[in-house]
A and B are shown apart, each in its own frame.
Chain A
Amino acid sequence: KNQVEQSPQSLIILEGKNCTLQCNYTVSPFSNLRWYKQDTGRGPVSLTIMTFSENTKSNGRYTATLDADTKQSSLHITASQLSDSASYICVVSALTGGGNKLTFGTGTQLKVEL
């Protein structure tokens, strides 16, 4: 069964500090992995996509990594800001005969405090 596990479940950090969120998956056959940011009361918004051949990709202060061999991804946030407080969701896509099938993680709830 395809599964996506995220850790930690929740995290509190001080503004300006860095943090790393983890995503482990058992999705097969792997197509791509996306990180979404979901602000409270809003819908998820895509931050970045990782394909099989990509190891690292940055989007401003967000850097995603992918290790396809160990089936792990991480999202590193640099110099955190209060606006980074949100849930971060890892979504892994499996390539099936009927098209891509998405498996969602349960998210990491990040709170950035002063």
Chain B
Amino acid sequence: NAGVTQTPKFQVLKTGQSMTLQCAQDMNHNSMYWYRQDPGMGLRLIYYSASEGTTDKGEVPNGYNVSRLNKREFSLRLESAAPSQTSVYFCASRNMGDWELFFGEGSRLTVL
């Protein structure tokens, strides 16, 4: 079982460059999420998609955009990367009616 798959696992960017983090889940979950994890801070919600065709802002959406491509895939885009976006990014999904989140392995992003 693959579960939630994120790519890439590691990425180094220069300030101002753009990139997209990809996420796919094979559990037929309706809801998908993007979090960032920084030292000394809890996981913070960037964007989420409650169901296919919908996306909503979370706690820290500035500087990011998302696309729910289909039920399986939810991508996170950084249009113009900034050093403050250096972080570990986690994609997660859950089934309707159950609030257990299933996380991917994470994508470690460094912005120089």
Contacts and interface: CB of A to CB of B under 8 A. Distances in A.
Given A42-B106, A43-B106, A49 B100 contact: yes
Contacts of B90: 43-44
Interface residues of A, number: 21
A46 interface: yes
Interface stretch (B37-45, B66-74, B78-86): B37-45
Contacts of A89: 42-43
B92 interface: yes
Contacts of B4: 43
Interface string B75-112: 00000000000000010100000011101111000000
A100 interface: yes
Contacts of B104: 43
B100 A46 contact: yes
A102 B103 contact: no
Interface of A: 4, 31-32, 34, 41-46, 49, 89, 93, 99-100, 102-107
Contacts, number: 42
Contacts of B92: 43
Contact of B45 (A32, A44, A46, A102): A102
B42 A4 contact: yes
Given A4-B42, A104-B43, A106-B42, A93 B103 contact: no
Task: List 10 A-B pairs, minimum CB-CB distance, nearest first.
Answer: A43-B103, A104-B42, A104-B43, A46-B100, A106-B42, A44-B103, A100-B99, A43-B104, A43-B105, A43-B90
Contact of B99 (A41, A43, A93): A93
A41 B42 contact: no
Contacts of A107: 42
A45 B103 contact: yes
16 contacts: A4-B42, A34-B99, A41-B105, A41-B106, A42-B105, A43-B103, A43-B105, A43-B106, A44-B101, A46-B100, A46-B101, A99-B50, A102-B45, A103-B42, A106-B41, A107-B42
